[in-house]
Structure 1
């Protein structure tokens, strides 16, 4: 990968994120332009989750040590967790831990009410923060961090619904990457190996792996993606689908995941009332369809070399009047674009050539120049660098095309 396509350099040069020794390694600071990108990704994640029938919840980033002992995270994941914190004279049992995952809290939310077989599946969604005690020599930019913000849904369903829910999650994860323009290299079925580092029995794992394989095959056939089996790559609590992409260096990374979990419902004694009046154990699925905000932004910066699609671009339209005589017309265009919710900046300082060069350097998506002729014709000269397109169009055409690209989350603005 060329140095000019490293997300760490792009992130610094474009004002997406910063780092500071006082904040600490692996804890990036999201700058205003980075916050815009992240907010758009979060909106996409919520839109997809709500379309799939997910409901929003919120849970604390801290939990008692006992919560993670019960979930199995402390037993299997302790090396990647931050040390427990004791407050004052409180007992050791009251030590608090920064959560490495959101699922234990969501299990508690499920358990907060009695559940009937008729109300399942229940899909709980939260874009929550999780913490990993990555070593200083491992953390890197946004791709390897100590605080992760994951588009996280946990589905609680009957066993007969698990296959359909896994397929639903996989289908949505593939669609999310299509919208983002991140090509999926393959879908990995991550399974256990022959070691004893897994929760649950071998037969239970074999059944779960077979269920995932069967559930995902039709989805993968429709998407034209191949399934690659990967023993030893499962989560400690169950097998999973991992959507694999390649970064600018050709390294394979997981960008989104759908996981089957038969252990947490057992550990938290989760039940629902069946049609027979008896208590039954639900199946739990973990799905991160967009992915972690940090890793996805890193992948997007490198995929587009910083020139993001219009709906993600911090500045969607830069308006440049040629001279002071066009300032009032330019301001009217900015106001009209703002009125449609288009992120717009008016640039008046310096020469026109310098302003155009600066807009290109900053990766503003559309550059709109208004000179004497454009002002008289109520038109604007538009340069769309990503689409390799330049033409003079009526002001309303510019507004309509920008709104269309924004609302449709299009990879390119449609000018024809």
Structure 2
């Protein structure tokens, strides 16, 4: 199925873009965790083939994104009683890591979709769940209009909505709107007259929505994380979800958002390390003082690779542990389980950030000067790691983790914790 009549849509086109068509046929229904992993592995092998070219030439992954959402993986976390596979959050993290190792932009694109759907499941009405989850199960993608770049802090939203009869009217400007350009639905965060945050699920084609493809970062270039303008956009009251409630009580909303981010970083690290090993084996020369015939036999290179792999495996172990803690917090939500899930996810976020950045640095150190040539585009790994790990600074993770273990203080409740 073709997503768009312009399959080579370029990054940073600085223009408003038309909505993408709805899927021509329903998405596949994932059965269980094992099938989710198998499908992710198959897709990753396909996505990896042109990942470097897409990054180099600024081509948005339209065909790949369509295959991704039609595979059923974007609905994998919907509980069984609501029609989904109900896979564990360990499996969700593994799927995102697998895809991100192939193409970290594609791995990031479902992040806000998965987090938004989790909010719907936690705080939506039964009627909202029935309507909107059936769309997600059919293959419709959500793109976010969450963050704003001109506010005092990330949680200081300027976008607002007012009720007008049985509708609401939304006005505001969003940025970092990952996936909105390529989505079928846009979930926008807006404040009511009491300054409470709500999630409003909008049709991508609603009058008043303008999406500008102006994401100009040096990393994660093909995530379509540009601007969303909302001018007197109308939506039925039935599309308004009171997400502020998720942070007024103990819920797994925060760690769910964070574990997906950490999984992207693990994937970046994996892909970087694999490209490092391949380059050393196939192209690098041994250093003159090593006395070796092959770069792959250099003692210092071997030790450095061992260090990278150990750190990667440690990060993965903490990531899977965080997924288990989130699963428990979803089953038994209380102050204790949610705090433990939040802390476990923060610990994983620290190590996944560190290994993603370290791997990007070590690639060039170990592979040598030749690895910096533009023809290989290996710098995309460092660029992607450096850009994506800026999401939710780990310096605050250390603080909250320490405060929890030393003083028993639970981490704060918000989407960045």
TM over 0.5: no
Report which structure shows greater RCO (CA 8 Å, sep ≥6).
2
Structure with more helix by fraction: 2
Structure with more strand by fraction: 1
| Higher Cα Rg, which structure | 1
Query: TM-score, normalized by length of structure 2?
Result: 0.30
Query: TM-score, normalized by length of structure 1?
Result: 0.30
